[in-house]
Structure 1
Amino acid sequence: EHRKRVFDVLNKPKTPTQLAKELDINLGYISNIIISLLDRKLIECLNPDEKRHRLYRRNSKGEKLFGEMKDLN
């Protein structure tokens, strides 16, 4: 699932464009995934005042969930 792939690589700050290139996923779809993860409060925007080149990464809640997911594997 694309959402899981995006979530997996957001351990470091990345822009939507970087995510799209790294994961070979359409930028529009990346934007929808980011909105979904933000709504679930699993990631954060590090520079929300920027209109372009916003950076996103997992927040503490997201890191906790990521750790739990890794424990299941």
Structure 2
Amino acid sequence: MDEKEFFLILGFVKISPYRTNTLKSIGNTLKMPSEIARENNLKTSQVSAALIDLKKKNLVLCVNEEVRKGRLYKCTPLGLQILEKI
């Protein structure tokens, strides 16, 4: 990934407080959407929308996609790089 693309993704995250807070909340851990929502005083639907956006940009991934409840998310290496710049 070149520098321009990196900064486009960084701006995409920073423009949304939901995406920024969701990424910060996950950090180096595994988190469920309900945990992220509780920690940031957000609605679960807001966190879910942010997670969808972050997944599309390859910033987070779901480690147990096959379950309906209790999905766990973690940052990808790119997500951790973006997190360092926020």
- Coarse TM-score class (shorter-chain normalised): 0.7 to 0.9
Amino acid paired to 1:9? S
Rounded Cα–Cα distance in structure 1 between residues aligned with 2:72 and 2:30: 5
1:25 aligns with 2:34: no
Any unmatched runs of 5+ in structure 2?
1-16
Residue number in structure 2 paired with 1:42: 59
Rounded Cα–Cα distance in structure 1 between residues aligned with 2:35 and 2:73: 10
Amino acid paired to 2:76? N
Return structure 1 stretches of 4+ with deviation > 4 angstroms: none
Offset, 1:60:
0.8
Q: Secondary structure at the match of 2:30?
A: coil
State the Cα RMSD in Å. Answer: 1.0
Offset, 1:2:
2.0
Any unmatched runs of 5+ in structure 1?
none
Q: Secondary structure at the match of 2:42?
A: coil
Alignment of 1:1-73 (within 5 A): 1-11=17-27, 12-67=29-84, 69-70=85-86
Q: How many residue pairs end up in the alignment? A: 69
TM-score by length of 1: 0.87
TM-score by length of 2: 0.75
**Same amino acid, percent of matched pairs:** 22
